[in-house]
Structure 1
Amino acid sequence: MRLPKILKVLAVAVLVAGTSVVATPAASAAAADPGGVGAVGAVTSPDVLAKPTSMPIARPGVTPAQPRTTGAKTCVETSATRSVCVAPAPPSRQTARTVLAPIPFPSWCASSDGTPVAGTRTEACKITGLILTTQQTVNGTVRITGELLMDVYDYTYGSVSLPNWIHQIGLSPYRGWGDARNSTVTGTLSVSGDCVINGASSFPVQSLAPANNTSRVGEAGARTTATAVGAVGDCTTRWNLRFQPVGYPQATASSEMAEIMCDNAVGANGARPARVGCVVPWYPARVDYSQSRNPSLASHVSRAQASGLPGATITNPLNRNVDTASTNLNRSRACGDAPSIQNMSCDEYPLASTLQGLAFGGTRRTFSGCQINAPTNVTGSSGASACMIAAGDNNAQGGIMSTFYYDYRVLHTDPFRVGIVS
C-alpha cells in the first residue's frame, strides 16, 4: 500500500462533549499536493499533515484587503491627554519562516496577500498587518509618541473526522519605537454561526517589544453544532485582541477566519460509518488514478485533460454533482450509444458525478482507438470525452471515487481534482 509522504503528525488535545479527543492538521490532496489520496485505492489517514509541494490556493472571489495609509488617524481619543490607535497596515511577511507557535504556522501562509489561502483540505491561513500608534495631547497639540508595526497570522486547522477545529493567531512585531514598544497583548475567541466555543481561549498577556522575530500566540477551539444527519454548518471564529501600552488606555482590534465548514451530510461508505467532520470547502482535494493499476482509465483521463478538459489543476477543478437526474444525463449523453464489447465499458471525462458533464453543455469528443463514434482531435475546456476502457478499470473507478468523496467530505458543488500518478 502506497501512502503519501508524511511530514509530521501534529496533535492538539481539545475537549469535545467532555471527552478528550485529538484534532490535527488533516490531509487533503494527493502526491504532488498536501494530504492527498495517493495511489488509487490506497487507504490514507485523514489526520496526517503532508508537505505541500505546490502553490496553495486563495479563497475564490475574495479581494485582498486594502490597508489604510499608516499616516491617517484611524482612532478616537480614549482619554483627555493620551490615545491609542490600532489600524490595518501592509504585512511585511518577513517572519514567515521563523514564527514560533504551538503548531508552526505553515510556510505556505507566506503566499497570503491579506486573503485566506489553503494548502490542504483542512488548513487555511492568512497574513495581515497592524500598526499600533500612541499619542499624547499637550496644550492642545497632538504628538505621536510611538509606533509599532506587526504581522498578524491567522491559522485554522481541523479534521475530516472530528466536529472541532483550532484557530491559532500569532502577532509578530518587527519594528517599533517610543511608547508603543512598551505594549502588551492578550485576547479571547468569539464565534458566530453554526458553532460554539470549544473550551477556554489560551492567550496569556505577552509583551509586544520586537525581539527575535517570534510570535505572540493565542490558541482556541470551536465545535460545530451542525451534527444532525444531513446538516451542514458554517462558522466564523474571531480573535478579539486587547493592546495595552504602559501608561495609555487600552485599544482593541479583531481578526477573523470563516474558512471552516462542518457537516454530517457525507453519509457512510460501506462499513465505514457516517461521521461529523470539518474542512475548507473551497480547497480542491485531489484523487489520483494510477497508470500501473488502472492503465486504460489513467490513459483516457490524461488525454482528456491534455485536450483542455478541466480537473487537473487547483485553479481549474471539477465540481461534484449529487443530482441523480443530471448525473444520469451526463452519463447517457457521453456513453449512451457505446458499443457492447466484451470486458470493456465506456468511461466519460469529466466524470458523470460532476457539474462539468454534457448535461451542462458542450459536445462529445473521443480519441483514436477509443471505439466511440465521436470527433477526435478536439480541444477546449467545454464538453466531455468518452472512451471504451477495461471494464475492471471502470468498475474500480466507482469505488475510488466514493471512497474519495467520503474521505475528504466532498459535497455537492465542492471542487476537486483528478491526478495521474505512476
Structure 2
Amino acid sequence: MAEPTALVAQQAEPPLPRPDPNRERDAPPLVREPDSARMAEPTEECTTSEDGTETACIRRLDPEASAQLRQSAAPSMGARYPTCRTPRQIYFFRDEVCANFAYSYVLTRTVNGTPTVVGRADFETWRYSYTSADLANWSHELGMEVVASSGEAVGATLDGFAVAGGACSTGADSTIGGVGLGTGKQFIGTGNIRSNSTEIGSWGYCSANWTVSATAPSGVRASITDWNEPGVRCDNYLSYQTRRPGCVVPQYPEAVSYDALPDLANHVLQAQQSGLPGATVDNPLVKADDATTARNRQLACGDAPSIAGRSCDEYPVATSKQGLTAGGERRTFDQCSFPNIGAGSGASGVSVCMVPERQQFSQGGLNSAFFREWRVFVDDPFRVVVR
C-alpha cells in the first residue's frame, strides 16, 4: 500500500519530533472510557442540498459496528498507533494520548420521494497527541484510513483543520485537504499546537480538535468534529526550578525509581508488598502540598530513634497525600530499628524504617528532580517503583 498522504502544519517554530511508537515503557498506559458527556454529543452530522434531493452524513459508529468493521477489513494504519489497542478507549501516558474511533460517510439521494443510498465510505480514525516536558509546543495528529468505499463516495474528497482550545494556540495552516475517499486511502494531518502559558508562573489546560469534512461530487458537504481527551497541561509555573516551559498529560502517574538506593528501595518494596499504594498506574500516589508533607514527616518519623549514620524513611513518601495525614497506623519490618512498632498490612497507614542517612538525603534530591522533570504539581498522581 502506498505511503499515507501527509500534510503538516506550517509555523515559525519547527514541529515537535514524533516519538518512536515502539519505545519501551516501564508500565502500561492508563486506560479510560471517553467522557460520558462528550460521548452523549451528536454522533451524526448531516447536510442536505439546497434542493433537498441529496443528503450527506458523517456518523460515529457504535461499538458493535466498529467491531464488525474491523473484522471485515482490518486497517493497516493501526501499526502507526500501537498505543491505541482497543477502539473507543482512551490510552495515555504522561507525554502522549491516543484514541481510535470508526466513522461512516453516507450519501443519500431522494428521487420521487424515495431516498436511496448512493455512496458510502467507512473509515477508521486515530487521534494521537504527543508532548514534551521540555517544550512549549505539542502535536495533535489525526490519522485516517478508508477501509471500504463504494458508489459515489469514491469520488468524494476530504479536508480538515485543527483548532486548539484553552490556554493554547494553533500553528498556521494545520490542515489536510483535497484527498479522495477511495478504499485503502490513508491520510495524516498534524496540528502543531503552541502553549500560551510561557510567562513565568503561568499554567493552563489545552485541548485540540480536528474538524473533518467530506464533499460529494455534487458539492454537498458534511462535517464532524473530534475531540482531544484528556487535556494537556502546559506551564512555566516551575520556572524558578526548570527555567523552561513544557507540556504534559497530568492524569498519568509517571514513576520515580529508587533502584540506585538499595536499602531504601528494599524498604519501599516491602512496604508495597504489604499492601501500601504507589507501585502501579491504577493505584498511584498523589502529590501533597508543603504543609501536608511536613505534617506527614512529623507523624511518621517525629519519634524516630537516634542512630548514628541512619535516618527515618517512611512510605508512602511524605510528599504524597497517602501519608499519615490521611489516617492509618505505622508498620515496620525486621532490621528497621523500630522495636515498638509492629508489622501490618493493608492500603492505609505508612511503613517506617531506619535507612542509611546518605540514601535518605539522596532520595530527597531524586524526588525533587523527578517532580521538576515531569512537571508534577500538587494533586498530580505519581508512582514509586523498584525494578
Normalised by the length of structure 2, the TM-score is: 0.88
Q: Is 1:146–1:180's contact at 8 Å kept on the other side of the alignment?
A: yes
Structure with higher helix content: 2
Q: 2:252 aligns with which of 283, 288, 292?
A: 283
Q: Is 1:65–1:115's contact at 8 Å kept on the other side of the alignment?
A: no
In 2, Cα distance between the equivalents of 1:115 and 1:98? 19
Using the TM superposition, give the Cα deviation of residue 224 of structure 1 relative to its aligned residue in structure 2, in angstroms: 1.1
Unaligned stretches of 5+ in structure 2? 1-7
Q: 2:198 aligns with which of 214, 227, 238?
A: 227
Using the TM superposition, give the Cα deviation of residue 314 of structure 1 relative to its aligned residue in structure 2, in angstroms: 0.6
In 2, Cα distance between the equivalents of 1:60 and 1:360? 29
Decide whether aligned partners of structure 1 residues 341 and 228 sit closer, same or farther in structure 2, where only a CA change above 3 A counts: same
Any idea what the Cα deviations from partners look like across 1:38-83, whole Å, max 9, x if unmatched? xxxxxxxxxxx8334643112488459769999xx86353342111
Q: 1:236 aligns with which of 207, 212, 217?
A: 207
Partner residue of 2:83? 108
In 2, Cα distance between the equivalents of 1:396 and 1:14? 45
Q: 1:143 aligns with which of 101, 111, 116?
A: 116
Q: 1:98 aligns with which of 65, 73, 76?
A: 76
Decide whether aligned partners of structure 1 residues 106 and 266 sit closer, same or farther in structure 2, where only a CA change above 3 A counts: farther
Aligned AA for 1:288?
Answer: S
How many percent identity over aligned positions? 33
Decide whether aligned partners of structure 1 residues 238 and 96 sit closer, same or farther in structure 2, where only a CA change above 3 A counts: farther
Aligned positions of 1:110-189 closer than 5 A = 110-111=85-86, 113-118=87-92, 120-189=93-162
Kindly report the root-mean-square deviation, in angstroms, between the aligned alpha carbons of the 2 structures: 2.7
Q: Is 2:75–2:147's contact at 8 Å kept on the other side of the alignment?
A: no
How many residue pairs end up in the alignment? 372
In 2, Cα distance between the equivalents of 1:160 and 1:69? 34
Partner residue of 2:308? 342
In 2, Cα distance between the equivalents of 1:348 and 1:126? 38
Q: Is 2:159–2:175's contact at 8 Å kept on the other side of the alignment?
A: no
Using the TM superposition, give the Cα deviation of residue 357 of structure 1 relative to its aligned residue in structure 2, in angstroms: 0.7
In 1, Cα distance between the equivalents of 2:171 and 2:215? 27
In 1, Cα distance between the equivalents of 2:110 and 2:33? 45
Using the TM superposition, give the Cα deviation of residue 356 of structure 1 relative to its aligned residue in structure 2, in angstroms: 0.8
Report the more deviating stretch, 257-266 or 393-402. 257-266
Decide whether aligned partners of structure 1 residues 234 and 65 sit closer, same or farther in structure 2, where only a CA change above 3 A counts: closer
Decide whether aligned partners of structure 1 residues 141 and 69 sit closer, same or farther in structure 2, where only a CA change above 3 A counts: farther
In 2, Cα distance between the equivalents of 1:194 and 1:332? 39
Aligned AA for 1:360?
Answer: A
Unaligned stretches of 5+ in structure 1? 1-11, 28-33, 35-48
Q: Is 1:26–1:160's contact at 8 Å kept on the other side of the alignment?
A: no
Using the TM superposition, give the Cα deviation of residue 136 of structure 1 relative to its aligned residue in structure 2, in angstroms: 0.5
Partner residue of 2:227? 256
Secondary structure at 1:256 match in 2: coil
Using the TM superposition, give the Cα deviation of residue 24 of structure 1 relative to its aligned residue in structure 2, in angstroms: 3.0
Q: Is 1:266–1:409's contact at 8 Å kept on the other side of the alignment?
A: yes
In 2, Cα distance between the equivalents of 1:97 and 1:252? 22
In 2, Cα distance between the equivalents of 1:14 and 1:377? 61
Residue 319 of structure 1 pairs with residue 291 of structure 2? no
Q: 1:384 aligns with which of 350, 364, 367?
A: 350
Residue 300 of structure 1 pairs with residue 271 of structure 2? no
Residue 354 of structure 1 pairs with residue 320 of structure 2? yes
Q: Is 2:45–2:223's contact at 8 Å kept on the other side of the alignment?
A: no
In 1, Cα distance between the equivalents of 2:336 and 2:195? 48
Partner residue of 2:16? 23
Normalised by the length of structure 1, the TM-score is: 0.81
Q: Is 2:292–2:325's contact at 8 Å kept on the other side of the alignment?
A: yes
Secondary structure at 2:267 match in 1: helix
